[in-house]
């Protein structure tokens, strides 16, 4: 079967695109599935789950929800089996969830499914998340590099990489992208934040205020530079990295030099900001005089 799959993939897109009758069912979708309809995989190699770690995950799920969807195999209309994510499933039960976001795969013939995925990608019938899932599945199924896959589907490697990065976003954002609540530009901007909690916060602001992609890019840029931004009535503060000791020494030195509590922020990328506060106009004039004296 493995040899047949490689041969099918190797025939080229002309052969694949000629298969007008081939269709795929649900192998590249993300949905909310009732936990009561899910069963564990009896072949799951892991037999023991650390209860403390499981409770910590359950607490996290209560606070921010499921970040990465689990993967299920559809058995029938009311039954699914876990392919990957049993730990998230167990923690969701502990957290009292009724449903869980999941990628769904059918039990159809894999060879037919792969050819249908390539066909649909070429025709651009799929949404961004479905395309990302299709790329991921093809990479895993055939052990391809991104470069090799780009040749097979006729897309640039950077395009494939950008789609795959979407799967690192929290589940609510992936579902919103799939449901066209946001577009890929919004999602690509959110990816650069890195912090899932912050990504969800900004996503909620996008939905509430209808922010454009450009506006989101500006917000993300400010957050990545360590700034606190205001959105509507909310203030959103980025997760600040602990400053290196030499930066703390510089901050203390500047505070002493200007006789005020200087603020210094620095992101993980090395970008930052120095802020010199003042209490009134006289205080501002005093600070300006210090700057003027430095020019002499």
Q: Active-site positions?
A: 86
How would you class 14 by CB atoms within 10 Å of its CB: exposed for 0-12, middle for 13-18, buried for 19 or more?
Answer: exposed
d(CA 260, CA 147) in angstroms, rounded, equals 54
Give the H or E element holding residue 104.
Answer: strand 99-105
Q: What is the DSSP letter of 127?
A: -
Candidates 192, 144, 205; CA nearest to 166 is: 192
Angle, CA 124 vertex, CA 122 and CA 126 arms, to 5°: 120
How would you class 146 by CB atoms within 10 Å of its CB: exposed for 0-12, middle for 13-18, buried for 19 or more?
Answer: middle
How would you class 106 by CB atoms within 10 Å of its CB: exposed for 0-12, middle for 13-18, buried for 19 or more?
Answer: middle
72, β-bridge pairs = 82, 104
- How far does Cα 72 stand from its chain's mean position? 19
d(CA 79, CA 34) in angstroms, rounded, equals 10
Phi, psi values for residue 46, rounded to 5°: -80, 130
**Do residues 141 and 5 lie in contact, with contact meaning Cβ atoms separated by under 8 Å?**
yes
């Amino acid at each position: 079967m493995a040899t047949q799959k490689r041969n099918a993939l190797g025939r080229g897109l002309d052969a694949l695109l000629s298969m007008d009758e081939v269709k795929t069912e649900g192998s590249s979708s993300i949905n909310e599935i009732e936990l009561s309809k899910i069963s564990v995989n009896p072949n799951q190699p892991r037999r023991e789950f650390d209860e403390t770690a499981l409770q910590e995950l359950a607490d996290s799920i209560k606070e921010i929800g499921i970040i990465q969807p689990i993967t299920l195999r559809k058995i029938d209309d009311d039954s699914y089996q876990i392919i990957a994510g049993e730990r998230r499933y167990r923690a969701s039960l502990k957290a009292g969830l009724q449903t869980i976001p999941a990628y769904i795969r059918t039990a159809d013939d894999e060879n037919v499914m792969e050819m249908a995925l390539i066909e649909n990608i070429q025709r651009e019938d799929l949404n961004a998340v479905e395309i990302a899932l299709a790329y991921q599945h093809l990479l895993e199924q055939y052990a391809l590099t991104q470069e090799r896959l780009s040749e097979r589907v006729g897309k640039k490697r950077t395009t494939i990489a950008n789609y795959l990065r979407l799967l690192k976003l929290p589940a609510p954002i992936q579902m919103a992208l799939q449901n066209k609540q946001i577009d890929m530009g919004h999602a690509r901007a959110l990816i650069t934040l890195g912090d899932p909690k912050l990504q969800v916060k900004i996503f909620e602001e996008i939905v509430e205020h209808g922010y454009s992609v450009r506006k989101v890019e500006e917000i993300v840029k400010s957050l990545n530079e360590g700034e606190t931004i205001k959105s509507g009535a909310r203030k959103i503060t980025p997760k600040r990295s602990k400053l290196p000791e030499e930066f703390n020494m510089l901050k203390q030195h500047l505070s002493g030099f200007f006789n005020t509590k200087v603020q210094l922020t620095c992101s993980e990328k090395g970008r930052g900001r120095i802020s010199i506060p003042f209490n009134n106009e006289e205080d501002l004039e005093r600070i300006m005089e210090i700057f003027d004296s430095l020019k002499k």
